[in-house]
Amino acid sequence: MADLTIEDTVYVTYIATTPEKVWAALTSSEFTRQYFFGRSVESDWKKGSPWTLQMPDGRIDVKGEVRESDPPRKLVVSWTVDWNEELRKLPEAVVSYEIEPIAEGVVRLTMTEAHPTPIPASLLEGGRRGWPMILSGLKSLLETGKPLAIPVPQPPKQD
Amino acid sequence: MPGNGFVYATYIRTTAEKLWDALTQPEFTRAYWYGAWHECNWEAGSPWRLMIPDGRIGDSGEVLECDRPHRLVLSWRNEFKPELKAEGYSRATFELEPAGDTVKLTVTHEMDRTDSTFIEGVSNGWPSILSSLKSLLETGKALEGTSRWPAEA
């Protein structure tokens, strides 16, 4: 991690599953569409490859590059929000997922959204509100086979 | 809240009433809270204790607010580790809000001092306790390893 990186948002959840299933849930659209506000991921998940997160209507929500890929233990991607001009101009964020088996049949998933340079607090709100919904949904999907039905949050106001 | 507070939200497919009972009733908490249980009558102003399985008092305090099934606020001090007890009282707030087919549970644990070792400790503990609570309510089974007090604690 670069010296100037500030860890801004961390979310930890424990899931009754295997690391391989968590990896699949993070990297396959058939899973992400069910817990990531209907969005699809696309990449070959090799270090240096591009990745995208697409909205249900096909627009790009987030894009970036795969920085680290060590299935099924660690995935690090750069993260630039693409659908909004204000957000597009921000320095890219870095999102890391660490997947650790910690007990028989239990996996700890740690998501860290870090920012290479500090960004305004108001722009962190979306992630701080969104990650608990997304990762609660991922846990439910893996443990029960059924996604959560949480109303999709409205995007932050553009002034 | 760097250093003096912790916030964690999770969405659980259940009702607010069931979640409230799972947070407060011993038959539930023993299953997912490392065997611990509350001794409390859940009225504002009443004393509150979290008992740990070997019979010690783990934490104690007072019910500051109790509005079933919406909001619970406890004053909270560790009782079994002298260095944590010395930090004094923290404040734990549980908020339950319906959201779609789930209930959003937000746990906020704060202390009026920075660099609290106690807050650092609960910041590590809450995600596993609340993940196991979610599993228990959604699948009927708590997470492996969360029904017994850990040996080193």
Read off the pLDDT of residues A19-65 as tens digits, 9 standing for 90 and up: 999 999 999 999 999 999 999 999 999 999 999 999 999 999 999 99
In the predicted structure, residue B27 carries a pLDDT above the cut 60: yes
Say what the pLDDT of residue B4 is. Answer: 73
What are the structure tokens assigned to B109, written together?
A: 């644990």
CB A134 within 8 A of CB A147: no
Q: Could you tell me if residue A155 is inside a domain? A: no
Query: Are A14 and B143 in contact (CB < 8 Å)?
Result: yes
Q: Could you tell me if residue A156 is inside a domain? A: no
Task: Kindly identify which residue of chain A lies nearest to residue B12, measuring between CA atoms.
Answer: A136
Distance from CA of A133 to the nearest CA of B (A): 6
Distance from CA of B147 to the nearest CA of A (A): 12
In the predicted structure, residue A2 carries a pLDDT above the cut 60: no
Q: Could you tell me if residue A121 is inside a domain? A: yes
CB B72 within 8 A of CB B23: yes
Query: Are A139 and B131 in contact (CB < 8 Å)?
Result: yes
Q: Could you tell me if residue B146 is inside a domain? A: no
Share of chain B above pLDDT 70, in %: 97
Cis peptide before B53 (omega within 30 of 0): no
Q: What is the pTM of this model?
A: 0.94
Task: Kindly identify which residue of chain A lies nearest to residue B100, measuring between CA atoms.
Answer: A150
Read off the pLDDT of residues A56-106 as tens digits, 9 standing for 90 and up: 999 999 999 999 999 999 999 999 999 888 888 888 999 999 999 999 999
pLDDT class of A121 with cuts at 50, 70, 90: confident
Q: Could you tell me if residue A46 is inside a domain? A: yes
- Mean of the per-residue pLDDT values of chain A: 90
Percent helix, strand, coil in chain A, to 5, is: 30, 35, 35
State the total domains in chain B. 1
Say what the pLDDT of residue A83 is. Answer: 87
CB A148 within 8 A of CB B101: yes
> What is the rounded distance in angstroms from the CA atom of residue A140 to the CA atom of residue B52?
29
Q: Could you tell me if residue A98 is inside a domain? A: yes
State the total domains in chain A. 1
Read off the pLDDT of residues B46-97 as tens digits, 9 standing for 90 and up: 999 999 999 999 999 999 999 999 999 999 999 999 999 999 999 999 999 9
- What CATH number does residue A118 fall under? 3.30.530.20
- How many contacts (CB atoms, under 8 Å) link A and B? 67
Contacts of B117 (CB under 8 A, 6+ apart): B83, B84, B87
Task: Kindly identify which residue of chain B lies nearest to residue A17, measuring between CA atoms.
Answer: B143
For an interface test with B, the pick among A34, A102, A140 (most B C-beta atoms closer than 10 Å) comes out as A140
Q: Which domain holds residue B54?
A: 5-139
- What CATH number does residue B45 fall under? 3.30.530.20
Q: Which domain holds residue A135?
A: 6-144
Say what the pLDDT of residue B1 is. Answer: 42
H helix runs in B16-116, sequence order: 16-24, 26-32, 82-85
Q: Nearest Cβ partner of B11 from A102, A108, A150?
A: A150
Q: Nearest Cβ partner of A148 from B102, B131, B135?
A: B102
> What is the rounded distance in angstroms from the CA atom of residue B151 to the CA atom of residue B146?
12
Rounded mean pLDDT, A111-130: 86
Angle, CA of A109, B91 and B69, to the nearest 5° = 75
pLDDT class of A1 with cuts at 50, 70, 90: very low
Task: Kindly identify which residue of chain A lies nearest to residue B129, measuring between CA atoms.
Answer: A14
Say what the pLDDT of residue B2 is. Answer: 46
Place of tokens 């970036």: A64
Classify the phi-psi angles of B48: left when phi > 0, otherwise alpha if psi is within -120 to 50, otherwise beta. beta
Say what the pLDDT of residue A4 is. Answer: 42
